[in-house]
């Protein structure tokens, strides 16, 4: 078996690589012991006493536990060792994988380097873990080698991740040589992508302390960095499932399709009455255009100052990113909107071509105005300029789509559409009568009110 210490670009697998590091440590110790046996006795005894390696037993079971935990998280089945190595490979961002994501399979020296690493990774993938388990008397390895996940495992995480990794794992298991192994991994990088951005649809912004080690493995002082954390489970709603607001949906679809297809598109503001489906429409875009490379980053207004750091992370990735700001509005004393204005239009650094900002708001004017702003005796000598400053953020969005509360007929159409989708068994007249009663008691006509009513009916039936 090739030495994993010879890996060139597939080296640091981060937190998820703990199990691999434990297994490699065990294999290294076993290899050293074998060499010592040959030197001392000039022979090798195939009959090994498991007690001789009891000091490695804990490391082995720790590794198995880590692998099973990851499998449970994503709902993996079958050979968990294969799934684990595949998971590490598809999430590893390095010069080769990122080059594949941006263009196609690179040739030349970088390809040769990757092939060198793939030979080692294939050895690891094919390693007979059952033999290692026998050494430690680990009968549980039969279960790990043919794992059957329950329905509850992976239920709260992204099904897409499990399906894509499991499919690649099966391809790698069938690869007869390093070239076939390399081709399968490369095709995955080119067609799907690499890392969390390749596998996940949506992300939230987080600040975390990142600790690194120096050449002597000494821990360096922590540095706070902006991190994009994947949302493991997102609402499974698509654009063609939204009922009503056809004109608004079409405007949003046209702009987004232009964007994902590399044509000019506008930053978009969805504004208007509460509960009319503004946020739901953006969530539906995320699912509808995921396969075309669309990713959504959820950003809160207090995180606007992190926008430049976010752009530096995503500007060279081969995906289309919508930075989504839900329920956006600013109070008079909040100045974060100035950062947002500069990023949308007007800053020295050009916004990356693979990024748009979509925002929703119940306000047309995103920065709160007071009645004092309009009084003739306002002490501000340049009152018109002050008002223009407060309304200028709205105009920075090239596409502005207004959502208004539905009329009774539109509200009833939404109720009937949702009832059909969820197979609600109730006479039409009775359903609409109850819906109108619900509307009176729960805030008026809106898509949100209709959905809440249908949820109530489904729970009562």
Question: What tens digit of pLDDT does each residue of 225-248 get?
Answer: 899 999 888 888 888 888 889 999
Give 361's strand partners. Answer: 271
Ramachandran angles phi, psi of 219, nearest 5°: -70, 125
CATH homologous superfamily for the domain 239-403: P-loop containing nucleotide triphosphate hydrolases (3.40.50.300)
In terms of pTM, does the model score above 0.85? no
pLDDT given for residue 45 in this prediction: 47
pLDDT reading at 334 higher than 70: no
pLDDT in tens, 338-377: 777 777 775 666 778 899 999 998 876 666 655 455 555 4
pLDDT in tens, 1-26: 778 889 999 988 988 999 999 999 88
Residue with tokens 């929703």: 360
How many percent of the chain have pLDDT more than 90? 40
Phi-psi region of 103 (alpha: psi -120 to 50; beta: other; left: phi over 0): alpha
User: Residue 165's closest CA among 140, 200, 132, 123?
Assistant: 200
Report whether 102 contacts 316 (CB < 8 A).
yes
Of 30-34, 248-252, 265-269, 380-384, which range is least confident? 380-384
Give 312's strand partners. Answer: none
The whole-angstrom separation of Cα 91 and Cα 84 is 11
Report whether 367 contacts 332 (CB < 8 A).
yes
Of 56-60, 139-143, 170-174, 339-343, which range is least confident? 139-143
pLDDT reading at 251 higher than 90: yes
Instruction: Give the model's confidence band at 103: pLDDT under 50 very low, under 70 low, under 90 confident, else very high.
Output: confident
Beta 202-210 vs 294-298: how paired, if at all? parallel
Instruction: Give the model's confidence band at 264: pLDDT under 50 very low, under 70 low, under 90 confident, else very high.
Output: very high
- For the residues 20-43, what does the mean pLDDT come to? 69
Diameter over CA atoms, the chain: 102
pLDDT given for residue 258 in this prediction: 96
pLDDT given for residue 151 in this prediction: 63
Mean pLDDT, the chain, integer: 83
- For the residues 104-109, what does the mean pLDDT come to? 82
Half-sphere CA count of 233, side-chain side, radius 13 A = 7
Q: Residue count of the chain, please give it.
A: 461
Instruction: Give the model's confidence band at 136: pLDDT under 50 very low, under 70 low, under 90 confident, else very high.
Output: confident
pLDDT given for residue 226 in this prediction: 92
Of 11-15, 44-48, 54-58, 355-359, which range is least confident? 44-48
The whole-angstrom separation of Cα 117 and Cα 147 is 28
Report whether 169 contacts 71 (CB < 8 A).
no
Domain boundaries, the chain: 4-199, 239-403, 408-460
pLDDT given for residue 39 in this prediction: 47
Which tokens hold the place of 130? 């059952």
Which DSSP symbol is given to 186?
H
Instruction: Give the model's confidence band at 95: pLDDT under 50 very low, under 70 low, under 90 confident, else very high.
Output: very high
The whole-angstrom separation of Cα 236 and Cα 295 is 15
Tell how many helices (H) and how many strands (E) occur in the chain. Answer: 18, 7
pLDDT in tens, 153-210: 665 566 778 888 999 999 999 999 999 999 999 999 998 889 989 889 999 999 887 7
């Amino acid at each position: 078996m090739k030495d994993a210490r010879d890996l060139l670009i597939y080296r640091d697998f981060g937190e998820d690589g703990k199990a691999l590091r434990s297994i490699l440590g065990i294999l290294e110790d076993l290899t050293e012991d074998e060499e010592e046996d040959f030197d001392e006795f000039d022979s090798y005894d195939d009959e090994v006493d498991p007690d001789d390696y009891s000091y490695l037993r804990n490391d082995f079971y720790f590794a198995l536990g880590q692998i099973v935990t990851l499998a449970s998280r994503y709902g993996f089945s079958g050979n968990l060792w294969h799934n684990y190595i595949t998971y590490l490979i598809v999430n590893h961002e390095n010069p080769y994988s990122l080059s594949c994501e941006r263009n196609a399979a690179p040739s030349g020296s970088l390809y040769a380097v990757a092939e060198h690493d793939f030979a080692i990774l294939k050895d690891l993938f094919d390693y007979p873990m059952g033999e290692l388990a026998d050494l430690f008397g680990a009968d549980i390895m039969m279960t790990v080698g043919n794992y059957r996940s329950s329905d509850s495992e992976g239920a709260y995480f992204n099904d897409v991740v499990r399906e894509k990794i499991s499919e690649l794992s099966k391809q790698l298991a069938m690869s007869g040589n390093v070239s076939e192994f390399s081709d399968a991994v490369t095709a995955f990088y080119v067609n799907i992508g690499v890392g969390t951005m390749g596998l996940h649809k949506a992300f939230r912004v987080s600040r975390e302390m990142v600790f690194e080690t120096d050449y002597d493995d000494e821990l360096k002082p922590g540095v706070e960095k902006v991190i994009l954390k994947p949302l493991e489970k997102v609402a499974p709603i698509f654009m063609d499932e939204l009922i009503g607001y056809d004109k608004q949906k079409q405007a949003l679809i046209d702009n987004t399709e232009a964007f994902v297809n590399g044509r000019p598109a506008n930053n978009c503001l969805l504004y208007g009455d509460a509960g009319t489906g503004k946020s739901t429409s953006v969530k539906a875009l995320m699912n509808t255009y995921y396969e075309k490379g669309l990713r959504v980053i959820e950003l809160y207004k207090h995180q606007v100052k992190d926008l430049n750091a976010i752009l530096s992370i995503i500007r060279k990735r081969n995906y289309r990113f919508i930075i989504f700001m839900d329920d956006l509005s600013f109070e008079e004393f909040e100045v974060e909107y100035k950062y947002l204005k500069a990023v949308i239009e007007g800053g020295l650094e050009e916004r990356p071509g693979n990024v748009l900002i979509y925002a929703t708001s119940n306000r047309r004017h995103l920065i709160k105005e007071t009645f004092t702003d309009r009084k003739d005796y306002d002490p501000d000598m340049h009152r018109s300029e002050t008002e223009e400053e407060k309304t200028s953020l709205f105009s920075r969005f090239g596409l502005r789509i207004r959502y208004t509360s539905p009329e009774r007929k539109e509200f009833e159409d939404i109720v009937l559409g949702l009832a059909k989708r969820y197979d609600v068994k109730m006479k039409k007249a009775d359903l609409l009568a109850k819906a109108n009663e619900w509307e009176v008691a729960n805030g008026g006509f809106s898509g949100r009110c209709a959905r809440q009513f249908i949820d109530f009916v489904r729970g009562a039936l």
